[in-house]
Amino acid sequence: MGGTGWGMTEFGWDVKYPGVQTLVAKFLMQGKAGHYAPVFERYQQKAEYFMCSCLGKGSRNVQKTPGGLIFRQRWNNMQFVTSASFLATVYSDYLASAGRDLKCSAGNVAPAELLGFAKSQVDYILGDNPRATSYMVGYGNNYPQRVHHRASSIVSIKVNPSFVSCRGGYATWFSSKGSDPNLLVGAVVGGPDAYDNFGDRRDNYEQTEPATYNNAPILGILARLNAGHGGYNQLLPVIVPAATPVVTKPSPAPKPKTIPPTKPKTTPAPASSSGAIAIQQKLTTSWISNGKRYYRYSTIVTNKSAKTLKNLKLSISKLYGPLWGLTNLGNAYGFPSWLNNLAAGKSLEFVYIHTANAADVSVSAYTLA
């Protein structure tokens, strides 16, 4: 299908080769290629051809604006920027995990340089550019005010409930010179031209139109940049065996004290906090792999008080597998990185997988404000 032959310098909604080549390169570095290794190596060569072109160190390189942004075409160029930066971010971690450098025609490149390239593109998108313009709506002090987006261009029904027809919306709002009355916060628009110029006009759809394929890749990049330099091994993650449907009722793993896994379990907090915080666990699925039964548990923590819950610390014991949705504080677990408090009546969820009954979860500390 061309994966071993096509060396690309773009990755977007219409060209998927670099993504496939990068993924196959991951399989190769994981040692999963088997007798396909010679073919997978050719995929990896093309993946690295793409990475080198983004860095400007290949035999054929991507075009960039004077301000340093990848430029492929005027109409929604930002899709190529975020997609290429996402691949560079992923491949940087693959290389670091494998303990190797990127091989370019201009010489070897350390994985950190690939990640640095991705960060430079994100910095540009968020305002570090010749125009000092953020191309993410609502971010910074200078961002697009006239996005080519019907719902954003028309006043919110909460502000004016009057009916707006299809033609009426076009005739009245599309040609308006005013700023968007309904801010499309977070949307990444098409972006500047080859010379870093940008026309903030609603009819300039090539530059002001947002797209899901602009936003989706940048979320992955931001998540990785937020993680810092934790030394994550992307080739050897915590792998839970693939789920196999189980028809029979799960039998509890042998333990001195068993709890039926099919019934929700509520772990009460200590007496001093039982009135403010509720904790409920339930088994959501189970499967058998290599003779072992794995259980996935969902745990809901709810603020039952009338105040905001802060500085939450949970004590979790009898946990024998990976956990997602909380921050490990060493001797306790706290709010995840994207949450710093829990409003009255709100809940958070975390999940974990292991081969035993539900872990013991309790509240060890918290404050109400």
Residues taking part in catalysis: 148, 200, 209
Residue by residue, DSSP assigns 253-282 as PP-SS---TTS-EE-PPPTTTTTTEEEEEE
Q: Which amino acid makes up residue 167?
A: R
Of 151, 131, 147, give the one whose Cα is nearest residue 68: 131
DSSP secondary structure letter of residue 180: P
Whether 218 contacts 85, CB under 8 Å: yes
- Taking the C-alpha atoms of residue 10 and residue 76, their distance in angstroms, rounded to an integer, is 13
What the block records as the tokens of 243 is: 């789920």
Longest pairwise C-alpha distance within the chain: 73
Helix, strand and coil in the chain, % to nearest 5: 30, 20, 50
Pairing verdict, β 309-317 and 265-266? unpaired
- Taking the C-alpha atoms of residue 298 and residue 352, their distance in angstroms, rounded to an integer, is 7
Helix (H, G, I), strand (E, B) or coil at 241: coil
